[in-house]
A and B are shown apart, each in its own frame.
Chain A
């Protein structure tokens, strides 16, 4: 109250004519917004704690609820916007760094939305994916520069180990700890069912999920949590996390309060102690050091696991990628500035990094210019929102995409961006057992499989429209793209023409 009073951002709008007092809203809100007034025999809502997660809205059987943005306002000011003012009040009160979750929500250009796809007309037939085979299988990993033959002239398989995917989609790194056991189970099972991979993040791999190893990427991050030989050998690939799109240059911090039980065991961090991932890897201060880690990991796993190096898309991403492509890594993962997070300093999340579309275009071109594009595969993430984003990313030059936020949405996330509170009403970004159980992996995994399957269908439709029946013919096929409303410079970086050209 008083100087530190902030008017709530959202208001619960309850249609009393429709409310039947079933109290499901009350039972399902971990923020205790709703309550039943026995005397008056009506439901009440205290908006102050509402995070706009829609759990109550989604479960209300009579559609009596909706959440509306408050019309309470400051005096209009295009510069000192309400959100900015509120942040100052919060910091003046707390003296603390502001924390946020999920991806950058600010109004920066989304280049995917300014790129349009081609389709065949007359001179080249479109292909009907319902009638003709339409292939989406991709292989990730470095390609040999020459062939070898045995004494009978047969080709020798001189490929180094790689990853095979039924569709060019993988679930990006989300650690057990930042998301729940059930969320992890859903991802792991979905990856297996869909013939793709998911990523452990830096939280280690729960013993229960070793069975999904061939669909797992095990991550090695700066904190090295949960990393040991069995872990490295458990997965289909190893990812060295150098950076994250939501917080380039920033480490991570899982408070000791969350390091309990299985999380402690899986991370190999004593119960109750903070799990701090340093900003840099303290054994990697240069590209040569990275090369050493890449080969250390390969040595450890007998060169049987491809190594992914994940970086955040920053200004000189192309040069960094070029270095990585010569470091022995098999795959480069680039995370754009819109990538999600369980928690990051707001200022970092909202102001650091570059859009993935531009990063991808420049990295792909740079590696081609240097003739080393075949050394590595490129995986991009950081707000891949739908199948057309995927098609555009691949046409720009990606081999595959990472989806994180989209996967969480499929699991029920409503992007309320309150992960840092640990009270996720959808059972995803929480470790509280009664909340975790809200995500039934039987449902979760099915929804993920559905999403990947639906996108696969759509990708095939779009490919078929372009007259392409195998995804490798889409990769880097920038002629299939045209820009709208982009400057010469942007078109040049993207390597595409303007619509109409």
Chain B
């Protein structure tokens, strides 16, 4: 299955992935309209220290602890993509407790949000990867 992989060596810490993510999940068609004057809560996040930076988003594990641990059944695997049923999630954050990558975060309306490889929005494939100027994140089969 194609996943987002990180090539830390090439991450510039430009944070564009975060903005492309936030835009992709905004359901707006214009990035300015989507992101102007807001503080973004992207599903991919840069960790940065000194000259090291890299992006972290859901790894879409084959044996996902978050899904196994989910108390409501809101998290499930659909064709390899771990997605969240926002209608079912009640924001207990057991998945945040479980995720070894720190890739799940609290979203708006006190439920969780996570990368669904943009299968949940109109872009269809990870928009963060499209926004990365240096192939520091790639969407591929490994």
A and B touch in the complex (CB under 8 A): yes
Tell me the A residues contacting B by CB distance below 8 Å.
17-18, 20, 22-24, 27-28, 58-59, 61-62, 64, 433-434, 437-438, 440, 442-443
Q: How far is the CA of A59 from the CA of B32 in the complex (A)?
A: 15
> Measured between C-beta atoms, what is the minimum distance from B139 to chain A in Å?
14
Q: A17's contact among B16, B32, B133, by CB below 8 Å, is which? A: B32
Chain B residues with Cβ below 8 Å from A62 are 31-32, 35
Q: How far is the CA of A22 from the CA of B19 in the complex (A)?
A: 7
B12 at the interface (CB under 8 A from A): yes
Tell me the B residues contacting A by CB distance below 8 Å.
7, 9-10, 12-16, 19-20, 23, 31-32, 35-37, 51, 131, 133-136
> Measured between C-beta atoms, what is the minimum distance from A42 to chain B in Å?
11
Q: Are B16 and A59 in contact (CB under 8 A)?
A: yes
Q: B12's contact among A17, A23, A58, A437, by CB below 8 Å, is which? A: A437
Instruction: Name the residue of chain B whose CB is nearest to the CB of A442.
Output: B135
Q: A28's contact among B9, B14, B35, B37, by CB below 8 Å, is which? A: B14
Known: A20-B31, A20-B36, A440-B135. A434 touches B20 (CB 8 A): no
Q: Are A23 and B15 in contact (CB under 8 A)?
A: yes
> Measured between C-beta atoms, what is the minimum distance from B23 to chain A in Å?
8
Can you offer 24 A-B residue contacts whose CB atoms are under 8 A?
A: A17-B32, A20-B19, A20-B31, A20-B32, A20-B35, A20-B37, A22-B16, A22-B19, A27-B12, A27-B13, A27-B15, A28-B12, A28-B14, A59-B16, A61-B20, A61-B23, A61-B131, A62-B35, A433-B51, A434-B51, A437-B10, A438-B12, A440-B135, A440-B136
Chain A residues with Cβ below 8 Å from B35 are 20, 22, 62
Known: A61-B131, A437-B9. A24 touches B14 (CB 8 A): yes
The CB with the most chain A CB atoms within 10 A, among B13, B19, B133, is that of: B133
> Measured between C-beta atoms, what is the minimum distance from A57 to chain B in Å?
12
> Measured between C-beta atoms, what is the minimum distance from A300 to chain B in Å?
38
Q: How far is the CA of A64 from the CA of B32 in the complex (A)?
A: 9
The 9 closest A-B pairs by CB, nearest first: A20-B35, A440-B10, A440-B134, A22-B19, A24-B14, A62-B32, A440-B135, A18-B32, A62-B31
Chain A residues with Cβ below 8 Å from B36 are 18, 20
Q: A438's contact among B15, B32, B131, B134, by CB below 8 Å, is which? A: B134
Q: Which secondary structure characterizes the binding site on chain B? A: loop
Q: How far is the CA of A23 from the CA of B23 in the complex (A)?
A: 15
Q: B16's contact among A24, A64, A438, by CB below 8 Å, is which? A: A24
Q: Are B31 and A61 in contact (CB under 8 A)?
A: yes
Instruction: Name the residue of chain B whose CB is nearest to the CB of A23.
Output: B15
Chain A residues with Cβ below 8 Å from B7 are 440
Q: How far is the CA of A58 from the CA of B36 in the complex (A)?
A: 19
Q: Are B10 and A59 in contact (CB under 8 A)?
A: no
> Measured between C-beta atoms, what is the minimum distance from A435 to chain B in Å?
9
Q: How far is the CA of A61 from the CA of B42 in the complex (A)?
A: 15
Instruction: Name the residue of chain A whose CB is nearest to the CB of B38.
Output: A20
> Measured between C-beta atoms, what is the minimum distance from B26 to chain A in Å?
11
Q: Are B134 and A22 in contact (CB under 8 A)?
A: no
Q: A443's contact among B14, B19, B134, by CB below 8 Å, is which? A: B134
Instruction: Name the residue of chain A whose CB is nearest to the CB of B34.
Output: A20
Chain A residues with Cβ below 8 Å from B135 are 440, 442-443
Instruction: Name the residue of chain A whose CB is nearest to the CB of B35.
Output: A20
Instruction: Name the residue of chain A whose CB is nearest to the CB of B138.
Output: A442
Chain B residues with Cβ below 8 Å from A440 are 7, 10, 134-136
Given contacts A27-B13, A59-B16, 5 further A-B contacts (CB under 8 A): A24-B15, A27-B15, A62-B35, A434-B51, A438-B12
Q: A22's contact among B15, B37, B51, by CB below 8 Å, is which? A: B15
Chain B residues with Cβ below 8 Å from A438 are 12, 134
Chain B residues with Cβ below 8 Å from A61 are 16, 19-20, 23, 31, 131
Q: How far is the CA of A440 from the CA of B136 in the complex (A)?
A: 9
Chain A residues with Cβ below 8 Å from B51 are 433-434
Chain B residues with Cβ below 8 Å from A434 are 12, 51
Q: How far is the CA of A33 from the CA of B133 in the complex (A)?
A: 20
Q: How far is the CA of A108 from the CA of B18 in the complex (A)?
A: 47
Chain A residues with Cβ below 8 Å from B131 are 61
Q: How far is the CA of A20 from the CA of B20 in the complex (A)?
A: 12
> Measured between C-beta atoms, what is the minimum distance from A381 to chain B in Å?
29
Chain B residues with Cβ below 8 Å from A58 are 133
> Measured between C-beta atoms, what is the minimum distance from B21 to chain A in Å?
11
Chain B residues with Cβ below 8 Å from A64 are 32
Chain A residues with Cβ below 8 Å from B16 are 22, 24, 59, 61
Q: How far is the CA of A64 from the CA of B35 in the complex (A)?
A: 13
